A and B are shown apart, each in its own frame.
Chain A
Amino acid sequence: MGFDRPAALDQVPLRIHLGLYQDETAERCHWHLAEAHGLESWSDARAFDGSVSIVQPLIAPLYGGKSAHEVLAAFLGFGDRAGYQVVREHWKGLFGADDFEGRWQRAVHDGVVAGSALPEKPVTLASGDWVRPARQARNPGLEIAFRADPTIGDGRFANNGWLQELPKPLTKLTWENAALLSPRLAARLGIAVSSTASGATTDLVELRYAGNALKVPAWIVPGHPEDSVTLHLGYGRRKAGRVGSGLGVNAYALRRSDGLWFGAGLEIRKTGERAILACTQDHWTIEHETQTTKRHLVRSADLAEFERNPHFAREMSEEPPADLSMYPAHTYRGHAWGMTIDLSACVGCNACVVACQSENNIPVVGKDQVARGREMQWIRIDRYYQGGLDNPETHHQPVLCMHCENAPCEVVCPVAATVHSDEGLNDMVYNRCVGTRYCSNNCPYKVRRFNFFLYQDWDTPSLKLMRNPDVTVRSRGVMEKCTYCVQRINQARIDAKNQDRPLRDGEIETACQSVCPARAIVFGDVNDPKSRVTGQKSSPRNYGLLADLNTRPRTSYLASVRNPNPDMPREAGPGAARASLELGSGPDV
């Protein structure tokens, strides 16, 4: 049966809910207790090897919440015992009374109790039929696949604005889930997606599975298996909080406990209604090598091609030399900040997007505004497909302000609100900006974001605590963009000056760089011949995006080199399925 029916819970005579939110479960309980957040609570943990760690809070509970330890202690008759006491008492028992205070202080200071790992135990693999093949769905017809949502998981993060607004890595959808299907299936069903000024409009389809039905907007994903429809969990919540309620559809209404992740026998039909989805990249942007679209934005080659011609990336377009102009180029003595992004390493996880949002006080704008193209994230991951629609190669390209030496945005600002620092940063002066938006029009990379409304929430108290005090919070009517985390640069410069030493390479990490799990982003001083970023930039794979426009970007990319297994089937060469598809309007682009 579907998970939507709370069934047995109502039979329990006394129901008390301890939680961060008064959510759908709390609704069905008699009492709700406000829980202290994990970061506000004392606790303990064991690592994978058994090592003990004492968990400390970062802040006293903001709203007087209680941790699970404190609630259980109360139930067990210990009265109003604080979590700190509970944890201490427990470990007093285990450490013993001998120099307990010293050992406790050391454990709390170090974070890990040395030597508390559990002894290793040799094990053998049990024989037998413990690996069962997945259930084969031999029935013809469609399959439904349930997946945890890439950003809000199973729904636990539904009330997190950052995660709701974070574009899902492949589909670039926000604030909503959709029935993901392949281009061929969409064509069979006559589903059309089109781009309009108020968002991406698509067909609303009805999914019928195991006796339940659900209306979901459809979304076309190149490379999706043909006879399968994916639906992400976590949406359709009714009482997730201020942000997360009433978004998307509840996939749990179709999910069955005897087939948690997939099932056969799905029926799908168009309802005739249309829906608007908030997608940050309306176009599939398939690059294909024809006369009209040789843009060479994402450059990639197979290993064999790279070995044959290591300079393949540089040769794809012409970068004008610095001395081409009749005016002398500006010289940068001292530090000259630059960045490289290795496209071979980037997997499109979007961690950099969230890191930037948290570091730079970037507001959340909501579904309607994202649908209109007004999302505020300073870094975005452009997703390009290459090859046929049925099984394309996917490329991810993080795009942020290039800090061009010949910035086209700076020239056109009437009030000089964006100017170039002598370390090569394109500075954005919020309090001078009058909001003509010419800089955004003239930026070929479209990395500039505009505060069309007052997107910041001035009132909610916890948001005031959330903001980074080193970064200006922008109001209505001003333009903003990536600053190479100038606050971090300045802080490092101050620290180095206080310590009377020069800045070290690697001392400054931009927020995006610091969270990238693949270490794809490298930031540093391009005037320092020994810095990592200089090494990256001298690689033959290094190229500038749209460098033929003579913008002289300080952010450059390392072309990706792929090494696919030659035994894997590839899309055939020219003549294969058409390499591009316009959303809803037929061939071309």
Chain B
Amino acid sequence: MSAEVATSGLYGLMAEFRGPHEIVAGARLVTEKGYRRVDGYTPYPMEDLSEALELPRSVLPKLVLGGGILGCLLGYGLEYWSAVIAYPLNIGGRPLHSWPSFIVPAFETTILFAAGTAVLGMLALNGLPQPYHPVFNVASFAKASRDGFFLAIEATDPKFDRADTRRFLESLHGVVQVSEIEE
């Protein structure tokens, strides 16, 4: 099967499934078939679907750990530097390096940076905000946020073929319709 270069103006093909079990089964078959540039669209997160598409583990936890450590260092560092180096003051006879006190704001900055990294990292990894995406051109796609389940195979996938892929998708169990996604 010659890999036809994606027809200009075509992003890919979208298959609408009847329900959650159908999309998971279909996704397994799509993956087995060798398609990689595949995405699913569901109204709520589905672990089974992620597994079926063999999505790699998210790198987010490592980023968040890094963010937390950075937050801790920055927070404690600010406290230490301001109290011991920049403007040391005798406050209540306490030692300049009042580490029991300094633990508290440093804990908070750790959480702040970690949480910020989690959110911004998630958005960045997802490429959001992204106001436009070709899948929105599919008329029935509005159901994706309501009760629709969609699988989309991009035209840039090596195995993509406009006709073959369409036939394959239509052959899957529980497919309601297959549509073309215009760029």
Contacts and interface: CB of A to CB of B under 8 A. Distances in A.
Contact of B92 (A328, A411, A421, A422): A411
Nearest to A422: B90
Interface stretch (A60-68, A119-127, A400-408): A400-408
A290 to B, nearest CB: 33
A438 to B, nearest CB: 12
Nearest to B90: A420
| Chain B interface size range | under 10
B134 interface: no
A420 B90 CA distance: 5
Interface string A408-436: 11110100100111100000000000000
Most chain A CB inside 10 Å of its own CB: which residue of B89, B93, B94, B95: B93
Contacts of A328: 95
Interface in B95-111: 95
B92 A410 contact: yes
Nearest to A412: B92
A292 to B, nearest CB: 29
Contacts of B92: 406-411, 420
A138 interface: no
Contacts of A329: 93
A100 B95 CA distance: 70
A327 B91 contact: no
Contacts of A405: 93
A330 interface: yes
A419 B89 contact: yes
A552 B89 contact: no
A392 B95 CA distance: 46
A21 to B, nearest CB: 49
B94 A327 contact: yes
A580 to B, nearest CB: 34
- Main secondary structure on B side of the interface with A: loop
B91 A330 contact: no
Contacts of A327: 94-95
Contacts of A421: 90
B65 to A, nearest CB: 31
Interface in B35-65: none
Contact of B93 (A407, A413, A416): A407
A330 B93 contact: yes
B91 A419 contact: yes
A405 B90 CA distance: 9
Contacts of A410: 91-92
A413 B95 CA distance: 16
A416 B91 contact: yes
B156 to A, nearest CB: 57
Interface string B73-97: 0000000000000000111111100
A476 B129 CA distance: 48
Contacts of B90: 330, 419-422
A411 B100 CA distance: 13
B91 A420 contact: yes
B181 to A, nearest CB: 57
A416 B89 CA distance: 9
A446 to B, nearest CB: 17
Nearest to B95: A327
Contacts of A407: 92-93
A406 B93 CA distance: 5
Nearest to A416: B89
Contacts of B94: 327, 411
B88 to A, nearest CB: 10
A556 B29 CA distance: 87
A453 B91 CA distance: 28
Contacts of A552: 93
A406 B91 CA distance: 8
Nearest to B101: A411
A407 B94 CA distance: 9
B91 A411 contact: yes
Interface in A374-421: 405-411, 413, 416, 419-421
A39 B89 CA distance: 46
A327 B95 CA distance: 7
A420 B93 contact: yes
Interface string A328-342: 111000000000000
B132 to A, nearest CB: 48
Interface string A171-210: 0000000000000000000000000000000000000000
A422 B88 CA distance: 12
A136 B168 CA distance: 127
19 contacts: A327-B94, A327-B95, A329-B93, A330-B90, A405-B93, A406-B92, A407-B93, A408-B92, A409-B92, A410-B91, A410-B92, A413-B91, A416-B89, A416-B91, A419-B89, A419-B90, A420-B92, A420-B93, A422-B90
Interface of B: 89-95
Given A419-B90, A552-B93, 16 more contacts: A328-B95, A330-B93, A405-B93, A406-B92, A407-B93, A410-B91, A410-B92, A411-B91, A411-B92, A411-B94, A413-B91, A416-B89, A420-B89, A420-B92, A420-B93, A422-B90
Interface of A: 327-330, 405-411, 413, 416, 419-422, 552
